[in-house]
Amino acid sequence: SFPHIKNEQWKNYFFAGLILNLIFFLFLSLLLVAFENLFFNAFPPNFFTPLNISIILGGVLIHICSLFFISLFLTSQQIKVYALLSVLNNILGIAIIWMGVIKGITQALLLLSVSPGISLIFILYFFWKSFKHRLSGIKVNTNWKSINEIGHFILSAVSVVVFTRISDFILRQFFIQKYSAYETGLWQATIKLSDGYTTLFTTVLGILIFSKISSLINDRPTLKAFLKKSLNLVVFASFTGLFLVYLLKVPILTLLFSEEFEKGAHLMDFLLVADLFKFPSLILLYLLQVRMKTVAFISIQALSLLIYMFFIFLLMPLLGFEGVQLAGLIKNLLTFLILLLINRHFFI
């Protein structure tokens, strides 16, 4: 969090972050082109065309830029602007795709690129209005210290993608081959529901808690008191929200998907308990991130995945997809306990 640093130092961090995000985009582009069979095997054979790839990469670049510029408001403690732009980004994305479908536009990829592009216009307007004084006498100047510090955050973010999103993709492909697409679909529906309310909860944490942790990182006594209150609040809010989801799991699944997905409601039980440990773990993980404990952060992500894989292959032959959800519960519980142990100095 950098609300009070001098303009010259702010510019160093700004350009370091911009450069590293562009490097990440180039790396991702190379991966998509080099391994198109892995990423696009679910699409028709003629899908991998220069036009489609250009649209996809353009959309990814716009999305990365949007997230980068929005994050500047969070680090500067401009919470209201951050929340407004985050909501606007999501609403515009949904609205443009919906209107495109209504109007009969079949090029869904184009819609996915246009929607974040329109959001980026608003984001850049607010960025210039809020930070133009920071860029006065602009001079592209950065240093290895700035790149190193911001590089820690980007490396942590990449580890989350590698150890969660990519591993989920590989697991889903494995389950579809080993079991029926219908059974895998029931499990996937519960995961998508969990991802949905996790994204909402993480956004709230980012606005109310994560930014405060960043600003208090050098004030240990105040941070300790804030963390204790925050964890108590998160546990209470998580339990209340997840209990409501448990009571309404059948109507939620049928509303979001179809009546056929009612048969997957039993898969929610272990998943909801697992999420009860996931939400406070997000705070403890973020605490490692702002303390720049990058090796510990990545190691925990890797260890968490290994635990998950081990218990999946141990329990799935016995319990089916309920074994997968139980494996997730064990993973989240053990991850939470490990994080609590690592960060124990902030709670004792």
CA 40/CA 291 separation, integer angstroms: 38
Residues near 242 by beta carbon (within 8 Å), at least 6 away in sequence = 272, 275, 276
Q: How do residues 146-192 score in pLDDT, each as one tens digit?
A: 566 666 666 666 666 677 777 777 777 778 777 777 778 888 888 88
Give the phi and the psi of residue 219 in degrees, each rounded to 5. Answer: -120, 80
DSSP-assigned letter for residue 105: -
Residue 105 has pLDDT above 50, yes or no: no
How confident is the model over 82-99, as a mean pLDDT?
70
Residue 226: Cβ-neighbour burial (10 angstroms; 0-12, 13-18, 19+): middle
Q: For residue 272, what pLDDT is reported?
A: 92
What does the alpha-carbon distance between residue 231 and residue 4 come to, in Å, rounded to a whole number? 27
Name which of 59-68, 140-149, 158-167, 276-285 the model is least confident about: 140-149
Of 8-22, 148-162, 293-307, minimum mean pLDDT range: 148-162
Owner of token pair 């032959």 = 317
pTM for the model: 0.70
Q: Phi and psi dihedrals of 18, rounded to 5? A: -65, -45
* Best CA proximity match to 194, nearest among 120, 273, 138: 273
* pLDDT score, position 333: 94
Rounded average pLDDT over 216-228? 85
Percentage of the residues of the chain whose pLDDT score is greater than 90:
10
113 SS3 class: helix
Residue 323 contacts residue 312 (beta carbons within 8 Å):
yes
Lowest mean pLDDT among 37-51, 179-193, 256-270, 320-334: 37-51
Task: Of 29, 165, 74, 58, give the one whose Cα is nearest residue 116.
Answer: 58
Q: What's the pLDDT score for residue 294?
A: 78
Q: Which of 137-146, 184-193, 252-261, 297-306 reaches the highest mean pLDDT?
A: 297-306
